[in-house]
């Protein structure tokens, strides 16, 4: 197995001079998503939770609608002796889904976590997100607890300080799952794949991101069906507009002392007159 983290030699330089040592850094490797023998995409990703990635990417790209569209999945690793280095995730689709895939087939080779490489039109780049109808509410305290739970669970980032995380949190269960990757899109795709494989109801919890929120992150969250998306960094303007249209509660700039809500604040229960006031925001 390709290790997700490597230790490499480095020279630390500072006011007191230089000191030799080692540092843990994340690996990234080409990961090809292959449907019925045809390569759909090649992404640079962290070699961990690869089957989750295959399912999640296929779902958020609209290649499949659910796990029932997939007959089987396998992963194969290649090294220099094979003439290529990387991983293939091979998904074999049901016949009808395979025919639909052929009709919209594309082949893309993207940099780390790139979500738009190879898109053939402006319409596809900003396609509307799926409408989310989740009704569950969360308190400010619950969202704060969710954010506080994330850093201790970021195993790869504690080692490397160089990867993004996507996570899912529920009041009853706490932090249900965390997925990390050098690409923020990849991390969310891995999370989507895991939750779908577990049969988890995403409308009952919160999606957490350590990255900024761009349109693709909103689109992927909408595809999962989660009603609340909370990020450590800020959103883009297009992400806010997309979340508004998709019915997603988007909170961002989440810190120890609070967060900011940009769309659909009705799912955030703050209580009293303030709850009535924010219901009209946006």
Alpha carbons 32 and 34: distance in angstroms, whole number: 6
Task: Out of 114, 119, 140, 278, pick the active-site residue.
Answer: 114
Alpha-carbon distances, residue 105 vs 8, 100, 254 (angstroms): 40, 9, 38
Annotation says 114 is catalytic: yes
Which are the contacts of 186, defined by CB distance < 8 A and separation ≥ 6? Answer: 43, 45, 46, 53, 57, 112, 113, 164
User: What is the DSSP track for 10-39?
Assistant: EEEEETTEEEEEEEEEE--EEEEEEETTEE
Evaluate whether 155 touches 144 at the Cβ level (below 8 Å): no
Which of 62, 57, 117 has its CA nearest to residue 87?
Answer: 57
Catalytic residues: 114
């Amino acid at each position: 197995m390709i290790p997700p983290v490597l230790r490499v030699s480095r020279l630390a330089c500072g006011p007191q001079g230089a000191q030799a040592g080692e540092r843990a850094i994340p690996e990234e490797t080409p990961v090809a998503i292959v449907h019925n023998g045809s390569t759909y995409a090649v992404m640079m990703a962290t070699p961990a939770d690869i089957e989750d990635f295959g399912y999640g990417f296929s779902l958020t790209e609209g290649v499949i609608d659910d796990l029932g569209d997939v007959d089987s999945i396998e992963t194969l690793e290649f090294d220099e002796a094979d003439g290529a280095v990387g991983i293939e995730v091979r998904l074999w689709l049901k016949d009808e889904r395979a025919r639909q895939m052929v009709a919209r087939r594309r082949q893309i080779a993207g940099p780390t976590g790139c979500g738009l490489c190879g898109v053939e039109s402006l319409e596809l780049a900003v396609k509307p997100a799926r409408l989310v109808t989740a009704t569950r509410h969360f308190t400010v305290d619950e969202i704060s607890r969710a954010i506080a739970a994330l850093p201790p669970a970021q195993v790869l980032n504690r080692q490397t300080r160089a990867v993004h995380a996507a996570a899912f949190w529920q009041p009853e269960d706490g932090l249900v799952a965390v997925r990390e990757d050098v690409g923020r899109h990849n991390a969310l795709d891995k999370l989507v794949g895991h939750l779908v494989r577990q049969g988890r109801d995403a409308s009952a919890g919160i999606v957490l991101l350590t990255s900024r929120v761009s349109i693709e992150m909103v689109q992927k969250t909408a595809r999962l069906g989660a009603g609340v998306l909370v990020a450590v960094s800020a959103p883009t303007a297009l992400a806010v507009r997309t979340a508004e249209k998709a019915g997603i509660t988007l909170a961002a700039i989440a810190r120890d002392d609070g967060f900011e809500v940009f769309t659909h604040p009705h799912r955030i229960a703050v209580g009293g007159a303030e709850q009535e006031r924010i219901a009209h925001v946006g």
